Amino acid sequence: MMNPLMLRSQSQCRRQSGVTLLELLIVLTIIGFIAGIAVPMFSSSVSTTQLKSAAREVAAGLRLARDQAIAQRGETLWQIDVAARAFNVPPDPRVHHLPERIDIKLFAAQSDLVGDNLGAIRFFPDGGSNGGRVTLAAGERKYEVDVDWLTGRIAILE
């Protein structure tokens, strides 16, 4: 027969030498919290959400220019400064800025390209345009905001 005192000392040793589930969960939570803070600090890439959001913002600006041309029954320009990563729709004084880490390219009619970094897409009173494309890229990912020359329809292409 075993001594009850001996059983007690063996069970106490087992409890003290192991790690409880609660301790393990606390450590994992702390590691997850630190990783959640540290990883974005060292990552300089643009998230897919930021890239898609920028493409939607460009598309919204183009739609605004098209709607203005139809409503005012006159030509409207959507202007972009690729170097400054900013666009506007005159006569609205607001300038919309895009994230710095996104590469932007403008493909438009030669007559609406002011220089290497400045250009525009023109919309007409019937809703049509001179057509063009704005490409937003970050690494391997890219979105193209396409403007149909005949209908002026704006589409975001992946």
Q: Quick one: DSSP state of residue 106?
A: E
Contacts of 48 (CB under 8 A, 6+ apart): 141
Query: What number of other Cβ atoms are within 10 A of residue 42's Cβ?
Result: 6
Q: What is the pLDDT of residues 24-78, one digit of tens each?
A: 899 999 999 888 887 766 655 678 889 999 999 999 999 999 999 999 999 999 9
Contacts of 140 (CB under 8 A, 6+ apart): none
Side-by-side strand order, sheet with 132-138: 103-108, 132-138, 141-147, 154-157
What CATH number is given for 48-157 in this structure?
3.55.40.10
Q: What is the pLDDT of residues 109-127, one digit of tens each?
A: 888 888 888 999 999 999 9
**Domain segments of the chain as ranges:** 4-42, 48-157
